[in-house]
Amino acid sequence: MRIPAVNLKPQLAQTEPRWRALLDGLFARSQFILGPEGEAFEQEFAAFAGARHAVGCGNGTDAITLALRDAGVGAGDEVLTTALSAPFTAVGIAAAGARVRFADVDPETLQMDPAGAAGLITKRTKALVVVHLYGQPAPVDVFTRLGPVVVQDAAQAHGARYLGRPLTAWSPYVTYSFYPTKNLGALGDGGAITVNHGRIAARLRLMRDGGRRGMVAFTSGVNSRLDEMQCCYLRAFLEKLAEWNAARARIAGFYDEALRDCPGVRLVRRTAESVHHLYVLRARRRAALRAALAAKGIGTGLHYPVPLHLNPAFAACGQKRGSLPAAERAAREVLSLPLWPHLPLTQAEEVAAAVRAFYTR
Ligand SMILES: Cc1ncc(COP(=O)(O)O)c(C=O)c1O
């Protein structure tokens, strides 16, 4: 694509001297798992997120599973999350042994709807996984008042605050993915959990490393560690993350203005606290629009084309077509436009003009 949906190369080029220097140090030390690079990254990421601790792990899916397991979730429990998210949110819940159930979304923001979630809570509901979808903080304060422990899935929301406060101020666990295309991405898989309590951090550190102290396993753990090489890239990228998030905000603001009154398009409502992981709009005749944009060399994405309760893998939720109408409708209409920190404004103008031309020609 001439204007791809995501392009990581400029970020790599901009930070190359820094990550090369960190890699040189790593190769000289030759300690590739659980070493000083990871410890430094955990401290720097915790500081950036406004948390007391960050615990690295293998990916954002494992981060959800580890958080839920630490919260005591297991077989026989139910965990509630949004019907509009990456399948991995639900995969992480299922891996903790729980039955996953899905709540509908607010049709304006596409975040999980607190009233819908409240109506699905039963005595088996042990936890809520609240996703900050597309980079926009969901109303986590409302969710925490529903009762069950709240795990915040911030895989798309590195650097986001809610009502001016760090995400860890609102619930005990905040999970992150460092999948390469995220606002803060590794060059491979990676994840982390931020927490404010030292004892939780210590338990998570034990669990991610096989439950071991030395060569003896004390608790039932998993093998899910964030490796030293990824931490070299993550440390270099983290230094630029505030700048990159600001660039995303400028491009998203431009799309808002350019497409606000475009026929056939409905914008998704965002607050100023979003870190704009994706620019998602709702489009009439989406498939035709996508094809028209592709014909002009413009890449787009679908986040997400099938609501989670209709994914065959999650049929055990027991929720049928028609049960979560706002998420089902959104899944038919959402379209993600190109958004990455170094996207030239001239290219964003081209994208917006192409969308407009499709509906007004
Ligand atoms: C909202 C959300 N949750 C969880 C995940 C899982 O992260 P990972 O791919 O690092 O396991 C992702 C990314 O795919 C995501 O977007």
pTM surpassing 0.85? Answer: yes
The CATH number assigned to the domain with range 241-360 reads 3.90.1150.10
- How far, in Å, from the CA of 181 to the mean position of ligand 1? 10
- How far, in Å, from the CA of 331 to the mean position of ligand 1? 18
Q: Which two tokens stand for residue 357?
A: 């031309």
Return the DSSP state at 293. H
Q: CB of 174 closer than 6 A to ligand 1? A: no
- How far, in Å, from the CA of 262 to the mean position of ligand 1? 31
Q: Yes or no: say if 54 and 46 are a contact pair by the CB < 8 Å rule.
A: yes
Q: CB of 341 closer than 6 A to ligand 1? A: no
| Alpha helices (H) in the chain, listed in sequence order | 9-14, 16-29, 36-49, 60-70, 87-95, 114-118, 140-144, 198-208, 228-238, 241-259, 286-295, 325-333, 345-360
Using CA atoms of 8, 9, 11, 13 in order, give the dihedral in degrees to the nearest 10: 160
pLDDT number for residue 311: 98
Tell me the pLDDT of the chain (361 aa) as tens digits: 999 999 999 999 999 999 999 999 999 999 999 999 999 999 999 999 999 999 999 999 999 999 999 999 999 999 999 999 999 999 999 999 999 999 999 999 999 999 999 999 999 999 999 999 999 999 999 999 999 999 999 999 999 999 999 999 999 999 999 999 999 999 999 999 999 999 999 999 999 999 999 999 999 999 999 999 999 999 999 999 999 999 999 999 999 999 999 999 999 999 999 999 999 999 999 999 999 999 999 999 999 999 999 999 999 999 999 999 999 999 999 999 999 999 999 999 999 999 999 999 8
The CATH number assigned to the domain with range 9-238 reads 3.40.640.10
**CA distance to 38, 60, 174, 179, 195, per residue, from 228 (Å):** 6, 17, 22, 15, 21
Q: CB of 177 closer than 6 A to ligand 1? A: yes
Q: DSSP letter string over 172-227?
A: SEEEEE--TTSSS--SS--EEEEES-HHHHHHHHHHHBTTEETTEE-S---B---B
Where are the domain boundaries for CATH 3.40.640.10 in the chain? 9-238
pLDDT number for residue 361: 83
Q: CB of 155 closer than 6 A to ligand 1? A: yes
**CA distance to 138, 202, 206, 296, 355, per residue, from 361 (Å):** 37, 60, 60, 15, 10
- 129 Cα distance to chain centroid: 12
Where are the domain boundaries for CATH 3.90.1150.10 in the chain? 241-360
Find the helix or strand (DSSP H, E) in which 131 lies: strand 125-131
- Show Cβ contacts of residue 92 under 8 Å, excluding neighbours closer than 6 positions: 60, 61, 62, 63, 64, 65, 68, 129, 153, 175
Q: Yes or no: say if 154 and 175 are a contact pair by the CB < 8 Å rule.
A: yes
Which residue, judged by its Cα, is nearest atom 8 of ligand 1? 60
- Taking Cα atoms as reference points, which of 193, 188, 190 lies closest to residue 205? 193
